[in-house]
């Protein structure tokens, strides 16, 4: 099937198999391997990307469902090498540990902050419940999101 998407500001057009998952398209076709596959069953959030600004799990969408839409992956956040407020807060607060969950956490946090849904610790924990950290590093992650939102 024909697919036209904008990814990190660049338009892409191509033919894809109807069964191709969005996460596979991003990683295998576009080489954007910052988006990870953790569980492949919609549980862990490692594959989270922004679809028209909203966080979605790219292992639960077919690539063709993104046709005509705008995607942002972790590679597309820092414009000109300057970290976004969320990325800077993760850096400052040591909110990142492994490279596996971090991209999905940062993307999910970006959407939470942009939507004004990071008002307090409970809201952030609720907002990030679809993103799992296997080493329980949640404390600093939550602090980073609150700092980025200016609600700490
Ligand atoms: S790989 Fe998509 S939610 Fe885990
Ligand atoms: S820091 Fe990535 S799984 Fe815990």
Whether the pLDDT of residue 62 is over 90: the answer is yes
Q: Which two tokens stand for residue 80?
A: 């000109």
79 pLDDT higher than 90 = no
pLDDT at residue number 119? 96
Q: Return the CA Rg of the chain.
A: 15
Q: Which domains does the chain have, with CATH numbers?
A: 2-76 (3.10.20.30), 85-149 (1.10.150.120)
- Do 23 and 90 contact (CB within 8 A), yes or no? no
Helix (H, G, I), strand (E, B) or coil at 140: helix
- Has residue 97 got a pLDDT over 90? no
Confirm if 90 and 144 have CB atoms less than 8 A apart: yes
Average model confidence (pLDDT) across the chain = 96
Residue 146: what are its φ and ψ, rounded to 5°? -65, -40
Q: Does the pLDDT value for residue 152 go beyond 90?
A: no
**pLDDT tens, 22-31?**
999 999 999 9
DSSP code per residue over 95-131: ----TTTHHHHHHHHHHHHHTT--SSHHHHHHHTTTS
pLDDT tens, 112-141? Answer: 999 999 999 999 999 999 999 988 789 999
Mean pLDDT of 97-102: 89
The pLDDT of residue 26: 98
User: What pLDDT score was predicted for residue 40?
Assistant: 85
- Give me the percent of the chain exceeding a pLDDT of 70: 100
* Distance (Å, whole) CA 102 – CA 16: 28
β-strand partners of 44: none
- pLDDT for residue 58 is more than 90: yes
| Separation of CA 101 and ligand 1 centre (Å) | 10
Distance CA 89, CA 37 (A): 24
Ligand 2 mutation pick, 74, 90, 98, max ligand atoms within 8 A of CB: 98
**CA 135 – ligand 2 centroid, Å:** 5
Residues 105, 128 contacting (CB under 8 angstroms): yes
Residues β-bridged to residue 5: 12
| Ligand 2 pocket residue status of 97, Cβ below 6 Å | yes
Provide the pLDDT confidence category of residue 108 given band limits of 50, 70 and 90: very high
Length of the chain: 152
- Of 90, 138, 132, 137, the residue nearest 113 (C-alpha): 90
User: What pLDDT does residue 28 have?
Assistant: 97
């Amino acid at each position: 099937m024909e697919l036209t998407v904008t990814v990190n500001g660049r338009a892409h057009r191509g033919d894809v198999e109807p069964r191709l998952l969005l996460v596979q398209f991003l990683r295998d076709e576009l080489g954007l391997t910052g988006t990870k596959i953790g569980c492949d069953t919609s549980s862990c959030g490692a594959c989270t990307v922004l679809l028209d600004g909203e966080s979605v799990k790219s292992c639960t969408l077919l690539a063709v469902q993104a046709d005509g839409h705008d995607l942002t992956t972790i590679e597309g956040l820092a414009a000109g090498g300057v970290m976004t407020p969320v990325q800077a807060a993760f850096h400052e607060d040591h909110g990142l540990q492994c490279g596996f969950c971090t991209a999905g956490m940062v993307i999910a946090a970006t959407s939470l902050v942009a939507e004004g849904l990071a008002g307090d610790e409970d809201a952030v924990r609720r907002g990030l419940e679809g993103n799992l950290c296997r080493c329980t590093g949640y404390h600093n992650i939550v602090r980073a999101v609150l700092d980025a939102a200016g609600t700490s």
